[in-house]
Amino acid sequence: MKTLLFNPFQKYSDTRLLAVGLITTMAGIFGASMTHTHYDGVLDTHFSDNIPLQTALLESVFNALSLAMVFFILGKIINPKTRFIDILNIALIVKIPAYLLMFFNINGQVFELTRKILSTENTAEALNFTPVNTVFLTVFTTVTIFIFLWIIVLLYNGFKVAVHTKNTFVHILAFVVGVVLAEVLSKVLIYNFI
Amino acid sequence: MAKLPIHCPSCSEGLVVAQMQCVRCGTTVNGNYSLPLFLHLLPEEQDFVKQFLMNSGSLKEMAKQMNISYPTVRNKLDDLIEKIKKLQSEDENTAL
């Protein structure tokens, strides 16, 4: 179970990972459009009042491409035996935890609450949150932090298996730089082409 | 048969062969012979080499049999190659 959740790249075949990655990505695109969830960056999740299917599709494509391209180039530099399919599988599989966040915005609840926070004076009285709202936001924040850490662990383990990195300073630095570059590239692509 | 020890249980230094015996007539030969390179590998590493040969070097087949992914098998192989290279250079240095 631990391997399945945190390092599926170590155990499961490339074709199986690719199939699961493509199916969940397609489901994620439809889900993002239906729940108005923006995946506007490799590590980003934001909520909106409306997201056309085309936007959700392009965001997903740009995220996967950005991560795959940056990790593949870095992977080839570190280990010339790095295969594109292993890197592409990382880009697709790491999004699965992020897709879970869309369930919080099924009724536009997170978007409404954040809009309320941003549009009122930032005091408890002005916000007028009910206890249910407070509990909901606390749960949402906790789950979001956990999912963010889960994604980082998946990314690190995936990169380690695909590129055969060791836990050395240079390899860890390459991973961190790769994630930052992929995030920047995805943002640039999304804001320029959508 | 008992597992062949390759390291000294007292100081962990690598062991060498000091005596061999004919199982039929009991003749013994004494000397100072180094262990073959592959006997320096751990049992699971020796098993990996055996699997590699049995699968004609197909890492994909090995991945299926071992129920792990292709890059994991390739990484294990790369680690093993590194280890063998290191053992080889140690052997050559000792010979000099």
Residues A95-147: tens digit of each pLDDT: 999 999 999 999 888 888 888 888 766 666 667 788 898 899 999 999 999 99
Interface of A with B in 71-90 (CB under 8 A): 81, 83, 86
Which of A45-49, A159-163, B67-71 is the least confident region?
A45-49
Asked whether A9 and A156 are in contact (CB, 8 A), the reply is: no
> Domain containing A183: what range?
2-193
A8: part of which helix (H) or strand (E)? helix A8-11
Average pLDDT of every residue of chain A:
93
Q: The complex's ipTM?
A: 0.87
Shortest distance between the Cα of A147 and any Cα of chain B, in A, equals 25
Number of domain units in chain A: 1
- Identify the contact set of chain B against chain A, taking CB-CB distances under 8 A: 63-64, 67-72, 74-75, 78
Instruction: Classify the C-alpha dihedral A52-A54-A57-A59 as positive or negative.
Output: negative
pLDDT in tens, chain B (96 residues): 677 888 899 999 888 899 999 999 999 999 998 888 888 898 899 999 999 999 999 999 999 999 999 999 999 999 999 999 998 888 787 766
- Tell me what the mean pLDDT of segment A73-87 comes to: 97
Which residues are CB-neighbours of B17 under 8 A, at least 6 positions away?
A: B31, B32, B33, B34, B35
Identity of the residue in B63, B75, B78 whose CB atom sits nearest the CB atom of A13: B63
CB A60 within 8 A of CB A25: yes
Of A11, A14, A164, the CB nearest to B75: A164
Query: Using an 8 Å Cβ cutoff, are B14 and B6 in contact?
Result: yes
Q: What is the mean pLDDT of residues A79-104?
A: 97
pTM equals 0.88
Contacts of A9 in chain B (CB under 8 A): 69, 71-72
Number of Cβ pairs closer than 8 Å across A and B?
A: 33
Interchain contact, B75 vs A9, CB within 8 Å: no
CA distance B60 to chain A (A): 9
Residues A162 and A83: beta-carbon distance below 8 Å: yes
Best interface-test mutation with B: which of A13, A76, A78, A165 has the largest number of B CBs within 10 A?
A13
Task: Return the structure tokens found at A66.
Answer: 């950005």
